[in-house]
Amino acid sequence: MRFLIRTFFRGVRLILTPFMLIGERVSRPRGIERDPADQARIDEQTQRLALYHFPACPFCIKARRAMQRLSLDIELRNAQATGPWREELQNEGGRLQVPCLRIEEEDGSVRWLYESDAIIRYLRERFDPAQTTDPTPAPNSPPRS
Ligand SMILES: N[C@@H](CCC(=O)N[C@@H](CS)C(=O)NCC(=O)O)C(=O)O
């Protein structure tokens, strides 16, 4: 029975995947524009971030759209297929759930942030100039510079 249910959902996902990917592409939000020096500074910071995702997961699409809106060049690591990213997410992150943002802190320590809403909140707090007055900081958010 479990096998049938899993196969059913796998089939649904297979059918929906191209539509979701096309939808994401055609409705890609316009990213905010920064002056080149600011963007270069942000690009340097985002080198320490990586998003573990599945291409057609709706929660991942939501997180990727937030990244596009904020013009963030964050490495995407596809954890759907068996491979190093999937293993790393499971072993080091603690569970196989996407999206998950791997955050390398200034001191070299690594934090794994699960839940699309928490990820988006973290990115907005850190990189959205319009959010800097948000009175409710994300858990463990870094000090603002
Ligand atoms: N509440 C979570 C839900 C995330 C979620 O359900 N992700 C699914 C993919 S869409 C997942 O990781 N499933 C694990 C699996 O399929 O192995 C969020 O908002 O990030």
pLDDT tens digits for range 83-108: 999 999 999 999 999 999 999 999 99
Does domain 38-131 sit in CATH 1.10.1060.10?
no
What's the rounded mean pLDDT across residues 75-79?
98
Q: Is 113 helix (H, G, I), strand (E, B) or coil?
A: strand
**Is any atom of ligand 1 closer than 6 Å to the C-beta of 99?**
yes
Ligand 1: centre distance to CA 105 (Å): 24
| Dist. CA 63–CA 72, nearest whole Å | 11
pLDDT tens-digit readout, 3-50: 999 899 889 888 888 888 888 888 888 999 999 999 999 999 999 999
At 84 the pLDDT is 96
The domain locations on the chain are 38-131
Long-range pairs of 118-123 with CB within 8 A, sequence gap ≥ 24: 119/51, 119/63, 119/66, 120/62, 120/63, 120/66, 123/66, 123/67, 123/70, 123/72
Which among 106, 105, 34, 27 has a CA at the least distance from the CA of 73? 34
- Name the residue of 9, 51, 97 to mutate for ligand 1: max ligand atoms within 8 A of Cβ: 97
At residue 84, what is the residue type? P
